[in-house]
Amino acid sequence: MKITNIDIWPVVMELDEPYTIAYETVNSTTNIFIRIETDRGIKGYGCAAPDLYITGESPEQVQDTIKGIISSIIKGNDPLRISFIMEEIKSNIENRPSTTAAVNMALYDILGKVANLPIYKILGGFRNFIKTSITIGILPVEETVSRAKILVKKGFKSLKIKGGKEIGTDIERVLKIREAVGPDVELRFDANQGYSVNESLKFLEKVKSAKLELLEQPTHKRELDQLGRVTDHAAIPIMADESLMNLRDAFKLAQKDLVDMVNIKIMKVGGISDALQINAVAKSAKLEVMVGCLDEAALGIAAGLHFALARPNVAYADLDGHLDLRNDPSEGAVILKDGILYPTGKPGLGFNLKNF
């Protein structure tokens, strides 16, 4: 079997509810969808969710890279030689993680269709579903509490609260949410690099009664020593997100025992293949893993879900980036019921894009 063609097209998706985090307000996202065709008629689909701040890519850069370098590399190759193709791509481009992620997931999609199996079963099939948190952006206290109540009524059992702009308000929001939703809903907090070490520890002390499940990326991504100091003195698990971009970052965090957990995002690390390697480092260091996401279509969420279902130490999921997107052409690529995510059960990533 050989790759005969590769098509791409951008899709701009508005958010039903724009949200604010420590460093930006998001109103829409552009994903680049990809279709890889083979001489046997099997097609693989993927998508890229570029983000200048996180992945360092623009939608235009993704398209130019795939049309130019990547297309010339993969045409004529056997799509089942995933490792070979990805090494060829990486040797020709650097710092294009969501671009490589799109190609990687499309190749896995072909693999699953050839095997007539969902990807998560090919990769290990540890579980069949996983609970996901849903994110509440930075809002005034009353709006935050109202939003939390609505989400719990919809069946979500885990809430991730964004903060990092003003510690006093963050403390109040967390305490008020806990009071509103009761003791059984899991609460996670993401400071998005907004705190100093002292602020992080002060925040944790003040919200102790809220029983947070974890604190995500409290300090700046490049200040690993500060992240380690928070971890050393915190009473709850500390998780790295923006500080983890690749396999080398995972090794540094694990080697120096700087965190308790890591957030692996398919778009951020470059695909399912790299996520599996990073997960292996995390497991060897006894670090728990969360699979996260950016503002990405349901097809991208499906890739993260299949990875999460395959490995036992992926204990947490934050796969909600698709929920507020309008006109997502891959809507239905994952199934959500009462805060639990399920794959479609179909071969590959479980979804074929239509009308493209």
In the sheet where 3-20 sits, what is the strand order?
3-20, 25-38, 43-48
Active site residue 265: yes
Distance CA 3, CA 39 (A): 6
Is 248 in a helix, a strand, or coil?
helix
Going by C-alpha positions, the residue among 149, 189, 193 that lies closest to residue 169 is: 189
Helices (H), the chain: 59-65, 71-74, 82-90, 97-115, 119-123, 141-153, 167-181, 197-206, 224-233, 247-255, 266-269, 272-284, 298-310
C-alpha pair distances (Å), 174 with each of 47, 145, 213: 34, 9, 12
Q: Which of 113, 121, 265, 268 is catalytic?
A: 265
C-alpha pair distances (Å), 248 with each of 132, 214, 244, 251: 27, 24, 9, 5
Beta strands 314-317 and 334-337, pairing class: unpaired
Distance CA 351, CA 356 (A): 13
Distance CA 308, CA 216 (A): 18
Contacts of 53 (CB under 8 A, 6+ apart): 23, 24
Q: Is the dihedral angle over the CA atoms 38, 298, 261, 238 positive or is it negative?
A: positive
Structure tokens belonging to residue 228: 């380690």
Q: Is the dihedral angle over the CA atoms 144, 145, 150, 154 positive or is it negative?
A: positive
- The radius of gyration of the chain from alpha carbons, rounded to an integer in Å, stands at 20
Under 8 Å between Cβ of 142 and 171: no
Q: Which of 131, 162, 211, 286 is catalytic?
A: 162
Structure tokens belonging to residue 171: 């403390």
Catalytic positions, written as ranges: 162, 265
